Amino acid sequence: MSPLSASFWDSLAVLAAGIGAGTINTIVGSGTLITFPVLLATGLPPVTANVSNTLGLVPGSLSGAFGYRKELRGQRARVLRLGAVSLVGGLAGAILLLNLPSDSFDTIVPVLIGLALVLVVLQPRLAAAVRRRQEAAGGDTAHPDGGPALMTGMLLASAYGGYFGAAQGVLYLGLMGLFLHDDLQRINAVKNVVAALVNGIAAVFFLFVAEFDWTAVVLIAVGSTIGGQIGAKVGRRLPPTVLRGVIVTVGILAIVQLLLR
């Protein structure tokens, strides 16, 4: 899809997909599973579609993070530490995209998402078990940033995010929900910032070394920015149980779509 060949209906479809992706990314993640198939349907090659999608979703990630600014209060140190690790992972994933065949990552993606969903569902019990173990070992509080285990998990999840990004948010929520003893909405706010950083570093890299389509980028950017604000308004009103249910539903759909690709 180039500026000269994009039809009105193609452009409208990409814009609508951008709105949907921005909304679902802010609430949970997996917006790429909306935009990527639409870009492929317009005729873009897979790698070009993936790169264009990553570039276009950056404004949406920033929009969603801004919409969750209230929940980010008091989390500056946590965001800086997790963000630094995620930037490294995101850049590594972007480099992998241009140097490895997609099959090498596509095989493990459904497994990673499935594991994240298990973590999301069992998060209250697992977090309580971790807390009891820490107390038994003489610690009365959890590490405010999740410790080395979360850092390692976020590094790997961000590498996946820089590579493709489908259900990236589900992975983040599963990991942080396990290792951070905090409200799920506050964790979701951190997830939005980290996702914005990973998309951003991958986008900067792609600008200089990868082929992309400006028409697709602009349409998704406009749509995802609108969707980010919609998602923030909807997501912040969801109680933890409902939000967890949305995460699981989206994650299952992501697995099904990836297996059928």
In the chain, pLDDT over 90 holds for what percent of residues? 41
State the pLDDT at residue 83: 95
pLDDT in tens, 45-97: 888 888 999 999 999 999 999 999 999 999 999 999 999 999 999 999 999 88
pLDDT at 230 over 80: yes
Given pLDDT bands bounded at 50, 70 and 90, which one contains residue 36?
Answer: confident
Given pLDDT bands bounded at 50, 70 and 90, which one contains residue 4?
Answer: very low
pLDDT at 106 over 80: no
Distance CA 200, CA 34 (A): 19
Single out the residue of 142, 240, 260, 138 nearest to residue 185, CA to CA.
Answer: 240
pTM of this structure:
0.80
State the pLDDT at residue 1: 53
Per residue, the 3-state secondary structure of the chain, as one string, reads: CCCCCCCHHHHHHHHHHHHHHHHHHHHCCCCHHHHHHHHHHCCCCHHHHHHHHHHHHHHHHHHHHHHCHHHHCCCHHHHHHHHHHHHHHHHHHHHHHCCCCCHHHHCCHHHHHHHHHHHHHHHHHHHHHHHHHHHHCCCCCCCCCCHHHHHHHHHHHHHHHHHCCCCHHHHHHHHHHHHCCCCHHHHHHHHHHHHHHHHHHHHHHHHHHCCCCHHHHHHHHHHHHHHHHHHHHHHCCCCHHHHHHHHHHHHHHHHHHHHHC
Q: Are 91 and 201 in contact (CB under 8 A)?
A: yes
Single out the residue of 212, 216, 211 nearest to residue 5, CA to CA.
Answer: 216
In the chain, pLDDT over 70 holds for what percent of residues? 82
CA quadruple 163, 249, 176, 87: dihedral, nearest 10:
20
State the pLDDT at residue 52: 93
